[in-house]
Structures are given as structure tokens and as C-alpha cells.
């Protein structure tokens, strides 16, 4: 065999190895423009946003956080609503609800999967400001690595059918969903 041919074959083999190795390299020291691998787990975290002019935009932004993602709130307030008495609202003025199938002691949520697309868990990150709601009645229950707000032990939700502050379209839905009173009890319709 010709020594020149052997050297050329070795050089070609070495160049091929280096090129293939560079293509499959997982060391990313570049600018970060590469897309993540398909096997990387998706991480979904709630994003706190300032109150928007459209509650509908808030509802649509929370729908994309996954079935248990929820909506983040920073404050709860007791507000008088015609026909319901005092109910609790979030920092955007949206009515908060409780679910009869959940449990208050210890706090346990049962609304999951498709249920959370209609009844959006209220997620908190740190402390929550209150107005007309006894702070000692507030708590949290863990939900998919997040903290769902509770009142009187009951996990709290927003209803996707409420598109503006002050609405309570979820009141009495399926005989199991009720606007929550400042005490944590379910609100009852008044005459």
C-alpha cells in the first residue's frame, strides 16, 4: 500500500470525525440561539402582571399556563355584590370561588386537568394584601409546585366565564361552585 494513500485516508478520517463531533456537541458556549432539545421538560411558571384594562386578556393569558398553572394574585378584597352580599375578589376585581368537592381541613383541591381550564386556581407567590378579609384566614395549599391561595382552608379559583370585574357568573354552577365570602364560607344568593 502506498504510504501517501494511507496518510490521506487517515487525514480524511480524522477530519470526518472532527466534523461529526462538532455537529453533535452539546456544549453550548455560543449566544444561546439554539432551540432546546425536544426531551427537555417544559417549565411553566406563573407571571405576575399589573392589572389590565381587559379581564378577558388576563383570562386568556392564564389559560396558556397549563391545566394546573393558575392565575397569580397579590391582593384579596371583600366587596359587596348585589344579590350575594360580601364576596372576595382578587387584585383585578375578579370574583373568587370555592368548590364543594374540595376540602378545608386539611386544605385539599380536587379540581384538576380540564376542570382548571374553566375554574382557574388562584396562585400566590409571597404575601397577599387584604382589605376586608381577615389575614389569619388566608393560607396556601401546594399545587404542582406552586402555592394555591386558600381562605378558611378552601382552595380559591377564578371562573373563566367572568370577563369583567364585579361579575359572578360562576355562582351556583353545577350546585358546587360558589363565590367565597370573607369568612371562607360560600356565598348564598340573597333576595
* Tens-place pLDDT, residues 5-45: 565 555 555 544 444 444 443 333 333 333 333 322 222 22
Asked whether the predicted pLDDT for residue 67 surpasses 70, the reply is no
Report the pLDDT value the prediction gives residue 55, as an integer from 0 to 100.
35
Cα within 13 Å of Cα(7), Cβ side: 3
Whether pLDDT at 3 is above 50: yes
What mean pLDDT is reported for the chain?
Answer: 75
Looking at residue 58, the DSSP 8-state letter turns out to be: H
Q: What is the pLDDT of residue 183?
A: 96
pLDDT grade for 127, boundaries at 50, 70 and 90: confident
pLDDT value at position 17? 46
Q: Is residue 51 predicted with pLDDT exceeding 80?
A: no
Residue 171, SS3?
A: coil
Q: Which residues contact 150 (CB under 8 A, 6 or more apart)?
A: 104, 107, 138, 139, 140, 141, 156
**Is pLDDT at 113 greater than 60 in this prediction?**
yes
Q: For the stretch 82-106, what's the b/e string if a residue is b when 16 or more beta carbons lie within 10 angstroms of its beta carbon?
A: eebbbbbbbbbebbbbbbeebebee
Per-residue pLDDT tens digits for 153-188: 999 999 999 999 999 999 999 999 999 999 999 998
Write the CB contacts of 94 (distance below 8 Å, at least 6 apart in sequence). 55, 58, 158, 162, 165, 167
pLDDT tens per residue across span 70-95: 789 999 999 999 999 999 999 999 99
Per-residue confidence (pLDDT) for residue 109, from 0 to 100? 97
H/E/C letters for each residue in 109-165? CCCCCCHHHHEEEEEECCCCEEECCCHHHEEEEEECCEEEEEECCEECEEECCCCCC
H-run or E-run covering 107: strand 107-108
Amino acid at each position: 500500500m502506498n504510504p501517501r494513500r494511507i496518510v490521506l485516508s487517515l487525514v480524511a478520517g480524522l477530519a470526518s470525525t472532527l466534523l461529526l463531533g462538532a455537529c453533535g456537541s452539546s456544549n453550548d458556549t455560543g449566544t444561546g440561539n439554539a432551540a432546546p432539545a425536544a426531551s427537555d421538560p417544559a417549565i411553566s411558571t406563573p407571571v405576575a402582571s399589573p392589572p389590565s384594562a381587559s379581564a378577558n386578556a388576563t383570562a386568556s393569558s392564564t389559560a396558556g399556563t397549563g391545566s394546573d398553572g393558575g392565575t397569580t394574585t397579590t391582593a384579596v378584597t371583600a366587596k359587596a355584590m348585589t344579590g350575594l352580599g360580601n364576596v372576595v375578589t382578587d387584585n383585578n376585581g375578579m370574583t373568587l370561588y370555592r368548590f364543594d368537592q374540595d376540602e378545608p381541613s386539611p386544605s385539599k383541591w380536587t379540581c384538576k386537568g380540564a376542570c382548571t381550564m374553566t375554574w382557574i386556581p388562584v396562585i400566590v407567590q409571597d404575601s397577599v394584601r387584604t382589605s376586608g378579609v381577615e389575614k389569619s384566614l388566608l393560607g396556601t395549599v401546594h399545587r404542582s409546585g406552586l402555592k394555591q391561595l386558600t381562605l378558611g382552608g378552601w382552595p380559591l379559583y377564578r371562573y373563566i366565564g367572568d370577563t369583567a370585574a364585579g361579575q359572578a357568573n360562576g355562582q351556583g354552577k353545577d350546585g358546587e361552585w360558589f363565590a367565597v365570602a370573607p369568612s371562607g364560607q360560600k356565598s348564598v344568593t340573597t333576595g
